[in-house]
Every structure is written in C-alpha cells, then in structure tokens.
Amino acid sequence: MRNTVNKPLLVYGSGFPTLLHKEIKRFYKVGFQTVAAPVLTAILYLMIFGHVLEGKEIYGRLSYTAFLIPGLVMMSVLQNAFANTSSSLIQSKVTGNLVFVLLAPFSHLEFYTAYVLAAVFRGVVVGMGVLVFTAWYAPPAFEYPLWILSFAFLGAAILGSMGLIAGIWADKYDQLAAFQNFIIMPATMLSGVFYSIHSLPVAWQTVSHFNPFFYMIDGFRYGFFGVSDMSPWTSLGIVTCFFVLVSVVALRLLQKGYKLRN
Amino acid sequence: MHAAISIKNISKNYGALQALDDISLSIEPGEFFGLLGPNGAGKTTLISILAGLVRADHGHASIMGADVQSHFREARRMLGVVPQELVFDPFFTVRETLQFQSGYFGIRNNDAWVNEIIAHLDLAGKADSNMRSLSGGMKRRVLVAQALVHRPPVIILDEPTAGVDVELRQSLWQFISRLNQDGHTIVLTTHYLEEAQALCQRIAMLKQGKIVALDSTENLLRQHGSIKKNGEAKVDLEDVFVNIMSGNAL
C-alpha cells in the first residue's frame, strides 16, 4: 500500500455538491415511492374532486378543474419538499449513519443548503409530474411564469426547511409523523388548494390569512391565471418573510448542533 | 511540530453525570496509542469531542494543531474515525458510500485511492453491492475504508473488532499496523486487552471520566504487573487493567 501520510497535499474543495448529490440520489433510488406515488395521489384527487364539483366556476371564469390543478401541483411540491428533508434526517439519525455527515467538515450553511436544495428539487420534480399528468384535463394558461417559479421555489424551500427542523427535533418516526399529520397536512389542505377562500365564511377567511401556506398556493395560482384571492405582491412578501424565519431557525439549530452534536 | 492530538483540561457533563473530568493528554505523530477503560469510562465521549460530534463543556482539543471547534474544517480533514456501531446508509453500494464520503471532504477525482482502499480491505468483490447485503465483518471493513478515504494522518478506531471473527481481526490489525508504519497516528479503544498490549506503544486508562494511568505499555506492564507463583513476572495487560481499575495498583 502506498504511504498515505506524506503525499502531496490534497486539494480540498467544498463537500456541498456531494451532499446535494447524495440527497438527490437518495430519493431517486426509491423513485416509485418518492415521485410516482405522490403524482398518482394528486391525479386521484383531481379525478374525484374534479368530477364531484364539475360545473362549478371559480373567479367567475375558471372551471373547477382548471382552478384545482395548480393547487394540487403546489400541494405536492410542498408535501414532498417536507418529506425529503424530514425523512432523510430521521432515517439517518435512527440508523446512525448521520455520523458520516457530521464527521465531515461541513459548515451549518453548507449542510442547510444541500438538504434544502435537494428538497426543492424533489418538490419541483413531483410538481412537474403532477402538472404533466393533470394538465390535459384542463390545460393551464401559464400567464406569469416568473410568479409560478418564485412561489414554487420559495414554497419548497420553506417546507424543506421545516422538514429539516422537524427531522432535527424528532427522535423517532412517531414524533415526525405527528409533526407531518398535525401541522403540515392540515395547514396544506386548509390553504385553498381545493377552494377559493372567498367561498368560506368570514371567520374562516380570517383564519386562512394566518396560514402561510395559503399565500404560497394563492401566489402560485396567480402565476397560472393572473387572478387570485390576494395580491401576489402581498403573498410574496409574507412567503419571503416566512422563508427567512424558518431558515434562521433551521440554521440556528444546525449551528448549535441541537440534537445532532450531543 | 504539533501534537497529533492535544487535549487540554477537557470536561463534559451529561446532566448530573460527569463523563469527563479535566482530561489532559497529548499524543505524538506516528504513535499507536491505546485508550482503555471500562464501559462508561468516557472513552467514546472523548473520541466524540475530538471528532466534533460532541462539544466539551470546558477545555480545548486539537488535531495536528487545528482546534476541533474554531478550526473544525482543518481538524476534521486531519482525522478519520471508525465508529463503534455498525452504521451504514442502506441506499447505497460500497463504492458509492466511499465516493460520497470522499466528496464530503471536498476531494475530487479520488477514484484511484478509493479503489486502492477497496482492494486492500478485500472489498473488491462487494464494491458494487448494496450495503444492506454485506455481512457484519464486511460492513466493519467499509467503516474502516470510510475513515481512510480522505487520507487523514490521525485515525481513531473505537472498538473496531467488537463482534468480529478472528480472521478479520487479524487482517484488520495487519492493515492498521501497516498504516501506522506508514506514519499514521493510531488511537485505539478496545476491550480486547491482548490486542492493545500487542499493538499500542502507549496507553491511557480512563475510569469515571478521569485518566488513572498514562504510560508506555512497557512501563505499565513493568510497574503494575504482578508476580506469578513460580516467580515469573506476569506481563499481562489484563491484570494491569484490573489492578488499576480496582485501585489495587502495585
């Protein structure tokens, strides 16, 4: 074996691209579960709700199916972005292989960025899959693509960050499931995916305004139709503030090594 | 020249439990060093502090002069750790595992070295197998390979032969000894004291978070070894260990 100590100095770069690559490859290897299954779920939602509420018009000009598609796309983006970071972290913690990442010279910023970008990537892949398979029911307009991209990225990054926080906090799958089922799922389902909040009683409209997920979906939908419950600028401001908030929390937990380096 | 490992006044508490109590220790480059002690003595906590997996409450530790907290990038690049548990990522093959580990350290185009490690640890036949399909012994070899993939000058092995068959233990020690001859600093924790006696030039013994013995293996055996009934010196590290741990040092 070659002498490995007195070799010419190795050239070290950042480990960030490898961690990002690993996180993407992790979900790619189980693509049926991580991509195909959520796409199928969204298609089923569309078939059931689209059929039941056929003939109903939203904003006075959109068919219910057309209205529903961007909501389902964004819901899939959000839920899968959350699932990617949270499941990766909890699995690595429970099986113990997170030690390999913790032994490597990652800064908390590199760690955060790699995990969240992988979550964004998975969210966008699933969202595109949902869009491709649902668009033929009612081809969407894509009126403002930049709004679509902005809200898709920010929404996925927020849920990726929340998944990171949940994955760091949870010690067992049960706790993570509670986070997912009692916080993420209700907040997503009650965010206007299936309805315009103008169809709700005033009290529930007010409650919806405290749900940040509502702004993500409403802004995303504006990109398709040029019409939404709120001004897209208001939604963008609120979503951006929420992104900063969850990012700061996640980065702070990583920097302190909360439940990771103890 | 910097010490390979420098530990100064390290203390660590877990709630009311004091895992490490004002530990100071210096390990020189090229040493084969044994860190011994009963379960719960603080060995793994000390290793975890050196690896950056746990933060000390007090004191400082450095690897080849790089502080493990303030200069963590340099410190971690200088250190390879073989963890005690048989942990692995079930999504990937052996080769992918090693390539990712290399990439984590920011090392590109490391395939030649990865192949060399795979060959020397007899992993070539399993290089493209999923980690889940490997036996315990093969997984242990992969753990060693992962610790070496960034060519660290300092290697810590935390009970690397626990639950490993005799054949693998022997081949593993041959490999580690060769690394030491090449200039790597080796720190070993083990409950197989005959291995420590055969391999380690110097030994520290921990008990309840404190160093209770620190000397060359030879001196420890000479100073604490008992005398057999037939008058022969009994040079067995196990007896020395028992004597020191029970407070009956001769």
pLDDT tens digits, B31-44: 999 999 999 999 99
Residue-level pLDDT at B117: 92
How much is the ipTM here? Answer: 0.90
| Chain B touched by A18 (CB under 8 Å) | yes
Instruction: Name the residue in chain B with its Cα closest to that of A259.
Output: B54
How many interface pairs between A and B have CB atoms less than 8 angstroms apart? 108
Closest residue by Cα to residue B50 from B187, B220, B197: B187
CB contacts of B76 in chain A (<8 Å) are 103-105
**B233 pLDDT tier (thresholds 50, 70, 90):** low
A18 closest CB neighbour out of B55, B100, B178: B100
Sign of the Cα torsion B84, B90, B94, B99 reads: negative
| Chain A touched by B178 (CB under 8 Å) | yes
| Chain B touched by A105 (CB under 8 Å) | yes
Average pLDDT, chain B: 90
CB contacts of B81 in chain A (<8 Å) are 103
Q: Which range among A50-64, A219-233, B51-65, B229-243 shows the weakest confidence by mean pLDDT?
A: B229-243
| Chain A touched by B76 (CB under 8 Å) | yes
| Chain B touched by A111 (CB under 8 Å) | no
Distances (CA, A) of B56 to B18, B48, B189: 11, 9, 20
Q: In this complex, do B85 and A22 lie within 8 Å of one another by their Cβ atoms?
A: no
Interface test with B, best of A10, A90, A95 (most B CBs within 10 A): A10
pLDDT higher than 80, residue B209: yes
> How far off is chain B from A177, nearest CA to CA, in Å?
21
Residue-level pLDDT at B33: 97
Instruction: Name the residue in chain B with its Cα closest to that of A256.
Output: B55
Instruction: Name the residue in chain A with its Cα closest to that of B143.
Output: A100
Instruction: Name the residue in chain A with its Cα closest to that of B74.
Output: A105
Extract the tokens encoding B33.
């060093």
Extract the tokens encoding B86.
């048989």
**d(C-alpha B178, C-alpha B174), whole Å:** 6
**B226 pLDDT tier (thresholds 50, 70, 90):** low
pTM of the model: 0.91
Residue-level pLDDT at B88: 94
Q: In this complex, do B107 and A10 lie within 8 Å of one another by their Cβ atoms?
A: yes
What residues of chain A score a pLDDT lower than 70?
Answer: 1-11
**B250 pLDDT tier (thresholds 50, 70, 90):** very low
pLDDT higher than 50, residue B11: yes
Q: How many CA atoms lie within 13 A of B227 on its CB side?
A: 4
Residue-level pLDDT at A4: 56
CB A140 within 8 A of CB A66: yes
Quick: pLDDT tens for B164-208: 788 888 888 998 999 999 999 999 999 889 889 999 999 999 999
Residues B79-105, mean pLDDT to the nearest whole number: 94
> How far off is chain B from A105, nearest CA to CA, in Å?
5
> How far off is chain A from B56, nearest CA to CA, in Å?
10
